[in-house]
């Protein structure tokens, strides 16, 4: 359209262009390190693998600037030696709330199905398919597990990071040692870092060790991984295969008389071909090891050293009989490795200063290692950071009740260990069972575990809540109030929570709703972007149109509550059930339009929110959702006092 | 998992990292301009608005390097004066096939509903809502129109472009003149360009004018926009409003005694607020103009010059009675403008050299202008480029049968005008009706058009196929064979095509299928990425398991056909219907696994492909899909000769 008059405001571009996450409010004074020769930060992150990058990305989005936040990594460029490749549904949900899931959705391999193969009834015939089950059983926004090279995942996070941090990751910077030194009470963590070969001393308020299984941070503060290795050696290879095995594009567990193999289909590569990852059990056993931080390779070194690519491929070929499998060409192998299964966890994830305030944290492989069979590594590591980031940012920005007292213990920070250590322990217990089952001659007389084939499939299926990341449940603590659960019916078993029944400590299941203001169909997870905000989800009751009813009273009380806390820290999501009368802006409390015009939904026209979440529409409920998407508490609609008390323990009211 | 042996191949990173679109094969020699002082390119694009950027992005992805391709723009930075804001479902589908839809999906306003408001029955009461209809009626991968600032859309394309082109857009480069000069037969287009104030002469094989309504390219080659202006002036304003109008977040057509307004809800901005765009009819009329390239503002200058922001807001306020509407604050207005509705189209989109080969092309506003009411501008402009890009790349890369003869006419290139000019004419005809209806006192005795309210709603609904971009149908031509349509039933009306019935000249409707190899649920559009390839879609018949049946024979013949054309230019998508026996890799022709392992689907487990596309499962069909997603032909399954003939007119066989 040809215009003949046009006028743009000077502020237009700033307002329409950005799409940056809004930083958290900061009640403490902006960070200005003292002007002396000592280099100081609020947070130093050691290690830029998935866990470290996720933490840096979140803290940067929450508003920590390059002046306040430093992430170092000893390698010269983006990590290329990573071997993880699985992204679980829950991790995809989180990536989606960060707006960075698209490339993975489009380019990764989507694993929808898991095939189980065993000895054929006639042993001469080799292996036969027993069953195919869905890879992801519990409901999730994503019905598949994605597989893609870890380097791609890191690049995606780093690209997004570049929008928030000019420095990005400082490379060629090796952490040498860490200690807590109370001399400088504000910056009690002292780190020695070798940058391009030159030693620098850095002081920081908080330090996070995301530096992997051989963590310098962990060793420096005197912590150890505790646990044991199992007695099996496995080889793993990424390869473009030539095969007539019909399920090569499904995840497979193959148990044959010749041994076990797990097939992980992988993404398409630049040649247009698709990679396959094979986990191949190496015949024979080595001794189990029980050790603290055992340096693998001391014992049984001979056996391990004898693992070769040719041996792995030969073994795979034997297991796949009567099918053939081989590299498609000479240059078809991208990567291979060998490992001994082990499960280890660090007993403490936090080291405190003399006043009891957590100062050093460890995340990811630095605090737990396990076998790759359940596809957990990269996911659990990033979720450690996802759990820690908002707690750390709240402390630093002075948003927690005890933030104001410098050096006082901070109960919110402590919940990082409470929640993630218990989770790591569960992971390791599951992994031990699952990887034992894998290495075992399942369903045969020789089985050590005694697992039958169907018990092994059951183990996978029941573990799926856990392995998908969707079934994680945090224990009760300051940020998870299990005492006040409101439900429409008593819950018979765990699996009901997987299917969406509200439970403090579990993530809120995604549902689709119709928005009142514009009729848009919207995922509730899109109202939970990873911006560090708490959300109060009100599931209104059927009396909404009664100005003196429970719903109207609750809405007004919640609106007042929101105003008592720092601006923007509490967001509202409001859902109404099917009702007799027509809902209009005029016949509901004005505060809905004022505070939640674009997050007010019908909970009955698309998914039935009340049925999914297990809430009686006649009674309603109020739910507090934490910045990481987990349910903090579920209270009676109108019991704003309880919400206030819960939030008051975590967030300080506006000063 | 701690590894004790690890080995990565040197080629690993190159293979797993990229996610670049594979370039088209090039049969002509690589481009190396002669070494003399004259600057030469294969393609010069003038203008980096949505049309120019889309073209540059596509040609770069197809493999044209910075040496061969130059895009210039007179402005110093990313366009900030753009006023378009609507992205239609079809455009979103295209963005999705380019892997760049995510930001728009997440950050744009999604318009799902269109509300119609008219005088209330009691005139004293002002306006009343008459009905709400879906914004997008025909089926599409996206059920909404997105609205977002044009600058964001350009930034998204430019970010992606930066992965393929180091230079990107050359800014501060103003096109001064263009002419065809056969002296240099290989580079007959001569352009004068002022770069940072310095004049440069550039020769190019092809030049594309994407330089807007006042196109220098169009004027240089002596072409004019032809058409007329209507007699209404409209104001448009982007503003954060304060209002009690209940449908402010829906698209609205408001006809009140005081005049007409269209409401376009817009995206959230960095303040956390949402923009609204208001189109407001300015009272009174000016004379219509019929002119070739009329410089608006010559006539009726007084009336137009008197349009002010205050006037627009006052008028809106009158129309919205009994509701109030005003800017939320003093700085709530981002942009405003005034325009007179006009519809103009250029009679030729291509200028040829003396041998009859198209050398200069115009796209976007340079060849058609219209009112913004139907939200077409940015979309139709980008779709011009989407239509032209692959044809131009095929010519340049020597993939068309006549490419080899330098200077010979190229029938494929000519279809750009055939297809897009007819489309522009349709657009303009629709726009005239629709915008007249908007400016008119619909449903009253004063109505000039005589449209009743319900006729106006019908006009919108029936136009929706067109305005959504999903109902575009190209006329029969070299690349659209309308003579050979295979269908399960006679088609009663146009709307059946909208709902998916295969029709040459229309885009293939997206469906969901279950993949045979891995059980993945997949959108067929994900098998149509914008990589410039043709796809042969075989809808097999129920005799697939018969090795001598039509399906098996067709598959083998198609496999041979694919091998006759340049490598990778033809991709296969194969769908099978519900069948009596079990489909396995062993009981179908081996060529399926060889050529289409990852694009072989069940067409009955999710959407029913046969019902949607109108194909009899007992008979099957073969469909050629062009690189732009449009159906080229629909033939009998097994009639590979016809496919060969059709493709042979467009693509040359392997030399």
Task: Assign a CATH topology to domain B86-143+226-344.
Answer: D-Amino Acid Oxidase; Chain A, domain 2 (3.30.9)
User: Chain A contacts of B342, Cβ < 8 Å?
Assistant: 1-2
pLDDT reported for residue B291: 47
For residue A114, the surrounding DSSP H or E stretch is: strand A113-119
Domain B39-80+149-225+347-460 belongs to what architecture? Answer: 3-Layer(bba) Sandwich (3.50)
User: Pairing mode, if any, of strands A69-72 and A39-46?
Assistant: parallel
Give me the mean pLDDT over the B603-629 stretch.
Answer: 97
Residue bearing tokens 């080969």: B357
pLDDT reported for residue A302: 65
Going by pLDDT thresholds of 50, 70 and 90, the confidence category of residue B145 is: very high
Going by pLDDT thresholds of 50, 70 and 90, the confidence category of residue B388 is: very high
d(CA B274, CA A524): 19
pLDDT reported for residue B447: 63
Q: Which residue of A has its CA nearest to B271?
A: A15
Q: How far is A188 from chain B (nearest CA, A)?
A: 32
Inter-chain residue contact A11 with B81, CB threshold 8 Å:
no
- pLDDT (tens digit, 9 = 90+) per residue, A277-336? 999 998 876 655 554 444 444 555 666 778 899 999 999 999 999 999 999 998 899 889
Contacts of B267 (CB under 8 A, 6+ apart): A16, B107, B108, B109, B147, B148, B149, B152, B274, B275
Q: How far is A420 from chain B (nearest CA, A)?
A: 19
> Domain locations in chain B?
39-80+149-225+347-460, 86-143+226-344, 483-649
Res B444 pLDDT > 90: no
User: Chain B contacts of A143, Cβ < 8 Å?
Assistant: 521
Task: Assign a CATH topology to domain B483-649.
Answer: Glutaredoxin (3.40.30)
Question: CB–CB of A505/A631 below 8 Å?
Answer: yes
Most confidently modeled range among B222-226, B229-233, B493-497, B590-594: B590-594
Q: Which residue of A has its CA nearest to B109?
A: A520
Res B443 pLDDT > 80: no
Inter-chain residue contact B8 with A371, CB threshold 8 Å:
no
Going by pLDDT thresholds of 50, 70 and 90, the confidence category of residue B37 is: confident
pLDDT reported for residue A9: 72
d(CA A39, CA A28): 20
- Indicate the average pLDDT of chain B: 90
- pLDDT (tens digit, 9 = 90+) per residue, B58-113? 999 999 999 999 999 998 876 555 588 899 999 999 999 999 999 899 899 999 99
Inter-chain residue contact A13 with B80, CB threshold 8 Å:
yes
- Pick the closest to residue B168 from B86, B329, B48 (CA basis): B48
How far is residue A286 from each of residues A283, A568, A598, B405, measured CA to CA in Å? 10, 57, 61, 71
- pLDDT (tens digit, 9 = 90+) per residue, A319-339? 999 999 999 998 899 889 988
Inter-chain residue contact B340 with A309, CB threshold 8 Å:
no
Contacts of B543 (CB under 8 A, 6+ apart): B549, B550, B551, B552
User: Chain B contacts of A246, Cβ < 8 Å?
Assistant: 584-585
Res A162 pLDDT > 60: yes
- pLDDT (tens digit, 9 = 90+) per residue, A417-476? 999 999 999 888 888 887 777 766 666 656 666 677 788 777 777 778 878 899 899 999
| Sheet with B534-539, side-by-side order of all strands | B521-523, B512-515, B600-602, B570-576, B534-539, B621-625, B631-635
pLDDT reported for residue B371: 75
Question: CB–CB of A17/B151 below 8 Å?
Answer: yes
Q: What ipTM, to 2 d.p.?
A: 0.90
User: Chain B contacts of A268, Cβ < 8 Å?
Assistant: 598
Inter-chain residue contact A80 with B151, CB threshold 8 Å:
no
Q: How far is B17 from chain A (nearest CA, A)?
A: 6
Least confidently predicted of A289-293, A321-325, B424-428, B444-448: A289-293
Least confidently predicted of A8-22, A59-73, A127-141, B257-271: A8-22
- pLDDT (tens digit, 9 = 90+) per residue, A36-77? 889 999 999 999 999 999 999 999 999 999 999 999 999 887
Inter-chain residue contact B369 with A17, CB threshold 8 Å:
no
Q: ω before B442 within 30° of 0 (cis)?
A: no
Long-range contacts of B449-454 (CB under 8 A, 24+ apart): B453/B116, B453/B118, B453/B130, B453/B255
DSSP string, A202-229: EEEEEEEE---TT-HHHHHTT---EEEE
Res B593 pLDDT > 90: yes
Give me the mean pLDDT over the A335-359 stretch.
Answer: 91
Q: Which residue of B has its CA nearest to A371?
A: B1
- Indicate the average pLDDT of chain A: 90
pLDDT reported for residue A270: 84
Q: ω before B322 within 30° of 0 (cis)?
A: yes
Query: Could you tell me what percent of chain A has a pLDDT over 70?
Result: 91
User: Chain B contacts of A151, Cβ < 8 Å?
Assistant: 13, 16-17
Contacts of B416 (CB under 8 A, 6+ apart): B349, B350, B358, B361, B387, B388, B391
Going by pLDDT thresholds of 50, 70 and 90, the confidence category of residue B297 is: very low
Half-sphere exposure in the Cβ direction for A4 (13 Å, CA): 22
pLDDT reported for residue A291: 47
Going by pLDDT thresholds of 50, 70 and 90, the confidence category of residue A372 is: confident
Q: Which residue of B has its CA nearest to A585?
A: B246
Question: CB–CB of B633/B481 below 8 Å?
Answer: yes
Q: How far is A110 from chain B (nearest CA, A)?
A: 7
Task: Please compute Rg for chain A using Cα positions.
Answer: 26
Higher pLDDT, B299 or A302: A302
Q: How far is B39 from chain A (nearest CA, A)?
A: 33
d(CA A113, CA A105): 16
User: Chain A contacts of B331, Cβ < 8 Å?
Assistant: 9, 11
Q: Which residue of A has its CA nearest to B84?
A: A1
Give me the mean pLDDT over the A85-114 stretch.
Answer: 94
Inter-chain residue contact B370 with A1, CB threshold 8 Å:
yes
d(CA A153, CA B246): 43
Query: Could you tell me what percent of chain A has a pLDDT over 90?
Result: 70
List the single residue in A113, A372, A568 with the smallest CB-CB distance to B1: A372
3-state class of B457 per DSSP?
helix
pLDDT reported for residue B306: 80
Inter-chain residue contact B597 with A304, CB threshold 8 Å:
no
Dihedral, A484, A485, A487, A491 alpha carbons, nearest 10: -130
Give me the mean pLDDT over the B534-553 stretch.
Answer: 97
Res B287 pLDDT > 70: no
d(CA B230, CA B439): 10
- pLDDT (tens digit, 9 = 90+) per residue, B147-196? 998 988 998 999 899 989 999 999 999 999 999 998 899 999 999 999 99
DSSP string, A316-365: HHHHTTTS-EEESSGGGEEEEEEEEEEEEE-S-SEEE-TTS-EEEEE-GG
- pLDDT (tens digit, 9 = 90+) per residue, A546-568? 999 999 999 999 999 999 999 99
Question: CB–CB of A513/A602 below 8 Å?
Answer: yes
Higher pLDDT, A35 or A46: A46
Inter-chain residue contact B22 with A339, CB threshold 8 Å:
no
Query: Could you tell me what percent of chain B has a pLDDT over 70?
Result: 91
List the single residue in B5, B111, B584 with the smallest CB-CB distance to A337: B5
Q: Which residue of B has its CA nearest to A148?
A: B16
d(CA B629, CA B480): 12
Res A649 pLDDT > 70: yes
Q: Phi and psi for B263 in degrees, rounded to 5?
A: -100, 125
Q: How far is A339 from chain B (nearest CA, A)?
A: 5
d(CA A411, CA B390): 61
Contacts of A400 (CB under 8 A, 6+ apart): A394, A410, A412, A650, A651, A652
User: Chain B contacts of A248, Cβ < 8 Å?
Assistant: 517
Q: How far is A407 from chain B (nearest CA, A)?
A: 35
pTM exceeding 0.90: yes
- Pick the closest to residue A296 from B6, B267, B271, B408 (CA basis): B6
Inter-chain residue contact B297 with A272, CB threshold 8 Å:
no
For residue A94, the surrounding DSSP H or E stretch is: helix A89-97
Q: How far is B74 from chain A (nearest CA, A)?
A: 18
User: Chain A contacts of B18, Cβ < 8 Å?
Assistant: 270
Res B340 pLDDT > 90: no
pLDDT reported for residue A461: 75
């Amino acid at each position: 359209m040809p215009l003949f008059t046009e006028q743009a405001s000077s502020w237009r571009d700033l307002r329409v262009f950005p799409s940056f996450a809004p930083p958290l409010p900061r009640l403490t004074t902006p960070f200005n390190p003292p002007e002396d020769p000592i280099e100081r930060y609020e947070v130093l992150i050691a290690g830029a693998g998935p866990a470290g990058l996720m933490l840096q990305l979140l803290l940067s989005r929450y508003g920590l600037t390059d002046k306040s936040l430093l992430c170092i990594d000893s390698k010269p460029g983006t990590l290329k030696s990573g071997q993880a490749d699985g992204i679980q549904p829950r991790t995809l949900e989180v990536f989606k709330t960060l707006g960075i899931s698209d490339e993975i959705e489009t380019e990764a391999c989507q694993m929808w199905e898991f095939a189980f193969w065993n000895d054929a009834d006639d042993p001469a015939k080799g292996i036969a398919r027993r069953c195919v089950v869905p890879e992801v059983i519990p409901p999730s926004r994503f019905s598949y597990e994605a597989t893609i090279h870890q380097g791609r995942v890191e690049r995606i996070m780093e690209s997004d990071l570049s929008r928030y941090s000019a420095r990005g990751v400082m490379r060629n910077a090796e952490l040498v040692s860490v200690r807590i030194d109370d001399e400088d009470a504000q910056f009690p963590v002292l780190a020695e870092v070798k940058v391009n070969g030159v030693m620098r001393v850095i002081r920081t308020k908080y330090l996070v060790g995301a530096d992997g299984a051989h963590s310098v941070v962990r060793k420096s503060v005197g912590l150890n991984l505790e646990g044991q290795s199992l007695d099996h050696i496995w080889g793993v290879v990424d390869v473009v295969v030539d095969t007539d095995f019909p399920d090569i594009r499904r995840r497979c567990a193959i148990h044959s008389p010749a041994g076990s193999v797990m097939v992980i289909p992988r993404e398409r590569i630049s040649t247009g071909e698709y990679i396959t990852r094979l986990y191949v059990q190496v015949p024979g056993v080595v001794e189990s090891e029980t050790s603290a931080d055992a340096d693998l390779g001391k014992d049984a070194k001979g056996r391990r050293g004898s693992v070769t690519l040719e041996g792995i491929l030969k073994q795979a070929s034997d297991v796949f009989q009567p099918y053939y499998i081989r590299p498609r060409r000479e240059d078809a192998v991208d990567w291979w490795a060998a490992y001994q299964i082990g499960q280890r966890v660090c007993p403490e994830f936090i080291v405190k200063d003399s006043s009891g305030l957590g100062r050093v944290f460890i995340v990811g492989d630095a605090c737990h290692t396990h076998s790759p069979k359940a596809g957990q590594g990269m996911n659990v590591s990033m979720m450690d950071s996802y759990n820690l980031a908002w707690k750390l940012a709240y402390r630093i920005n002075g948003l927690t009740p005890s933030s104001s007292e410098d050096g006082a213990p901070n109960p919110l920070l402590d919940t990082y260990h409470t929640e993630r250590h218990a989770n790591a322990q569960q992971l390791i217990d599951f992994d031990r069972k699952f990887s034992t089952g894998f290495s075992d001659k399942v369903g045969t007389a020789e089985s050590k575990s005694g697992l039958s084939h169907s018990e092994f499939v059951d183990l996978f299926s029941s573990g799926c809540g856990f392995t998908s990341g969707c079934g994680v449940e945090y224990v009760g603590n300051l940020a998870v109030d299990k005492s006040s659960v409101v439900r429409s019916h008593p819950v018979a078993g765990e699996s009901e929570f997987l299917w969406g029944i509200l439970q403090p400590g579990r993530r809120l299941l995604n549902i689709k709703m119709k928005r009142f203001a514009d009729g848009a169909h919207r995922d509730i997870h899109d109202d939970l972007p990873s911006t560090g905000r708490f959300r109060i989800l009100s599931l209104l009751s059927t009396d909404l149109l009664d100005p003196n009813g429970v719903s109207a009273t609750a809405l007004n009380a919640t609106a007042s509550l929101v105003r008592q806390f720092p601006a923007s820290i509490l967001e509202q999501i409001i859902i109404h059930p099917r009702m007799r009368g027509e809902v209009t802006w005029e016949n509901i409390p004005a505060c809905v339009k004022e505070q939640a015009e674009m997050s007010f939904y019908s909970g009955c026209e698309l998914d039935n929110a009340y049925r999914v979440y297990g809430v009686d529409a006649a009674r309603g409920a109020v739910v507090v959702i934490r910045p990481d998407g987990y349910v903090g508490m579920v209270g009676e609609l109108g019991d704003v006092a309880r919400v206030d008390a819960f939030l008051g323990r975590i967030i300080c009211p506006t000063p």
